[in-house]
Structure 1
Amino acid sequence: MVENVTVGWQVGADVTDWQLTVESRARRVRADLAALPAAEATEVARKAAEVSLEVVDAALRSADNKWWRSGASWWSGWHIERAWRALHEAEIYLAAADPDLPAKLPGLRARVRMYLDETDPRRQAMEQPEPDKAMVIDAMRAAFDASDDSHAAARALRNKLIVISLALFVLNTVLGLIGIFKPGVVPMCMPPNLALQQALCPTGSATPSGWDVWMVQLFGALGATISVVLLLIRRRPDLSPYVLVGYQALVKILLGAALSAVGLLALGAGLVSGIVYVGSQAALLLWAVLFGYAQQVGTRLLDNYADRLMDEVRPLPERVAGPKR
């Protein structure tokens, strides 16, 4: 979703969801700064907040120039993380300059609870009836640092998923090309046995074909796609700048294609002889689908880790009042 807004009340930009969130919070900080009474004691914090907001605007402007943004910038995510870190610094300086900070403690406590454990001394100090302002600022900084570190962790996981996807794509492509130019080198056919009078190949013929490997990979990807549908159904919406679900789905599909080929190699080698019966092309392709879906056993660990990481990057409303899980 793209929406036309004005960044920092000065610069027009088409922003994505995460940019809209940062820009909206930056506007609120500016409004709160403008409402603060003039006082020498808060002037330093006010100026520091304004400098941080300028950094936010600069990062958002650089993120909008998609034609200019280099691949290294996208890979490192510097504009995203710089915008969030600068916004958090501005919110901290705003709290330091706000004379009505005690009235806002309930909301600040809720934000700190999102990221700091109950045993953290900074959270415990902030939970006191009348905490010192320095303690409040220290707890806010620790909570925001944890949030920013979660953004970096999400980016690192995204990059790893991309590398894994490229490796699996190359592997599947190489296997498919070998199958085309050297049919039978990657044996996908079931040899004759007591149940089969002749060899049975994925394409339905009795001799290896150049499309056997591709056929198996296709049906393995089909099985993996079923697990992707389940992933999309249970995945909760979020406004994280790093959306991992697409990369998770890609890894599942490519891994399912590879595992289907490995599974049929195991069937052809007789490793499960007497346990698995394959008497027709339909049964052979069905096993390819099942082997493709079987990648869910391993990638479920990845899904659970990604879910926990996304909860840190994008806290949900029900986590606001409760302890960190």
Structure 2
Amino acid sequence: MTSELSWLRRRADKRAEIGPWELREGLRSRSSELRALLEERKLEHPQGTPEGNRVHRFADEALSELENAERALTHAHQRYKVGSHVAVGQIHIDTAHNLLLRLSRPSEIVSMMPGILAIVQSRLSSDDPRRARVEAIAQSPESIGEPERETILDAVGVARQASIRENLRVRSFVNIVGWVAGCLAVAAVLVALMGAVFEDMVPLCFTPYRGLEVGGYVVVCPVAMNPDPKGGRDINESEASATTPADYLVIEIVGLVAAGIAAATTLRRIRGAVTPYNVPVVLALLKLPTGALTAVLGLLLMRGSFIPGLSALDSSAQIIAWATILGYSQQLFTRFVDTQAQSVLNAVSAPNAMPPPPSPPQGATSSAS
């Protein structure tokens, strides 16, 4: 019975690990490290004195934050929330680390200054007075006292709040793009179903004129062709007889494949970021239904003589070829989303880590020459 319970628990843990597993393990390791440091602080300051009581109070609060972080990282019911549990765990761990800094003596903060400076410089702009003050303190760490420690804690807290806001921005962006991609996918499915049920309502057919000597006009559809000499049936009847339920489906599949190729080629320009939200994947998912719809809408515009000279395609192969081009051309619309995604990822990846290079003084070029 015990072995069966252990087996079920292991299976539940595996199900709970769906998502950014490496980030979760990194946060768990960081939580274990902070827990050991806090326990050491409690041993160094036994209860019974004002300072000991203070250390135990803050340490217990920090340990409670670590428990909340571990609980957020191991909840099986969050298996479908790919990134939210990681972000929540990071928030609790950051709070515990801030409490540890508050428990540290000024001499202990000196050894932590490189990491503190990196956090502040990565999230606060170069003209922020809190960053400037921390950088000044880092120049002379031996002068760290109670006021300097409060300044450091305030700057670190603000920097971590900025990091949380950037991660929330990434999550909001991914959710918006995901919802738009889902709506476009539903629209593409509905268009394909409408084309299959009402195949002759808005046909994707063209009627190129071949001349009287070759039989007048020809009805060309994505799947079939229907020659009809001039003076024969009405053109609408000819189109209705040539259309098939698969016309819209074939065009959408061709546009979707072309959009998939476009998505594969554009992913090389997207630099990844260590975030729990998979931005490149949701961008690729957006392009697929967009390509299917742009292929259909583009052919409808061509059929309506919206593009001069392209109102009468000569064969089904030409229709398929143009559907490929139109499906790939969705990149003209989604490239703005790609640009916004890259700016969001850049904002998460330490936007202020490197100060802007100083502009050269006036006349430097002329003097060098």
* TM-score by shorter chain over 0.5: yes
Moved more, 165-174 or 254-263: 165-174
Q: Partner residue of 1:218?
A: 253
2:114 to 86, 92, 106: 106
Distance in 2 (CA, whole Å) between partners of 1:145 and 1:70 is 25
Q: CA RMSD in A?
A: 2.8
Match of 1:83 in 2: 89
The alpha-carbon distance between structure 1 residues 165 and 19, as it changes in their structure 2 partners (threshold 3 A), is same
Paired residue for 1:119? 127
Aligned equivalent of 1:21: 26
The CA distance in 2 between the partners of 1:88 and 1:277, in whole Å, is: 64
Residues 259, 295 of structure 1: 8 Å contact kept: yes
Q: Deviations over 1:122-158 (max 9, x none)?
A: 2121111346111111111111111112222222222
Task: Report the Cα offset of residue 225 of structure 1.
Answer: 0.8
Question: Which protein is bigger by CA-based radius of gyration?
Answer: 2
1:161 aligned residue (177, 181, 184):
177
Match of 1:201 in 2: 221
Q: Distance in 2 between matches of 1:28 and 1:277?
A: 71
AA partner of residue 172 (structure 2): A
Alignment of 1:248 onto 2:283: yes
- Decide whether aligned partners of structure 1 residues 143 and 193 sit closer, same or farther in structure 2, where only a CA change above 3 A counts: farther
Which residue matches 1:96?
A: 102
Give distance in 2, aligned partners of 1:157 and 1:324. Answer: 27
Judge which range, 255-264 or 144-153, deviates more: 144-153
By how many angstroms is 1:185 displaced? 1.8
Distance 1:164 1:29 in 2: 41
- The aligned residue for residue 270 of structure 1 is 305
In the TM superposition, residue 70 of structure 1 has moved relative to its aligned partner by 8.3
Give the CA deviation at 1:270.
0.9
- Deviations along 1:151-203, one digit per CA (max 9) or x if unpaired, are 22222222222321221122111111111111132331122246994122111
Taking structure 1 as the reference length, the TM-score comes to 0.83
Query: The residue matched to 2:265 in structure 1 has which SS?
Result: helix
Counterpart position of 2:234: none
Name which of 336, 339, 344 aligns with 1:309: 344
Q: 1:249 deviation in Å?
A: 1.0
TM-score scaled by structure 2? Answer: 0.74
- CA drift at 1:78: 5.2
- CA–CA distance in structure 2, aligned partners of residues 52 and 123 of structure 1: 26
CA–CA distance in structure 1, aligned partners of residues 332 and 55 of structure 2: 56
Tell me the amino acid that sits aligned with residue 212 of structure 1. Answer: D
Moved more, 148-157 or 263-272: 148-157
Would the aligned equivalents of 1:56 and 1:83 in 2 still touch at CA under 8 Å?
yes
| One-letter amino acid of the counterpart of residue 32, structure 1 | L
Give the Å deviation of 1:85.
Answer: 0.9
**Structure 1 Cα separation of the partners of residues 71 and 122 of structure 2:** 28
For the residues of structure 2 that align with 1:140 and 1:324, how far apart are their CA atoms? 22
User: Does the CA contact (< 8 Å) of 2:206 and 2:312 recur in 1?
Assistant: no
2:202 equivalent in structure 1: 186
Structure 1 SS opposite 2:205? coil
What is the aligned residue count?
A: 304
Amino acid at match of 1:54: E
Shift of 1:82: 2.3
The one-letter code matched in structure 1 to 2:125 is: D
Question: Is the 8 Å Cα contact of residues 210 and 218 (structure 2) preserved in structure 1?
Answer: no
Amino acid at match of 1:85: I
Q: Which residue of 1 aligns with 2:165?
A: 149
Give me the whole-angstrom Cα distance separating, in 1, the residues matched to 2:288 and 2:273.
23
> What are the ranges of 5 or more consecutive residues in structure 1 without an aligned counterpart?
1-11
Q: Is the 8 A contact 2:208 2:314 kept in 1?
A: no
| Letter of the structure 2 residue corresponding to residue 302 of structure 1 | V
**Cα deviation, residue 61, structure 1:** 2.1
Unaligned runs of 5+ in 2: 1-11, 46-50, 227-241, 358-369
8 Å contact from structure 1 (residues 126, 135) kept in 2: yes
CA contact (8 A) 1:59 1:80 kept: yes
2:188 to 172, 187, 190: 172
Q: Deviations over 1:29-76 (max 9, x none)?
A: 2233345472426444323321211111111121xx1xx4487xx39x
Greater alpha carbon shift after TM alignment, 104-113 vs 303-312: 303-312
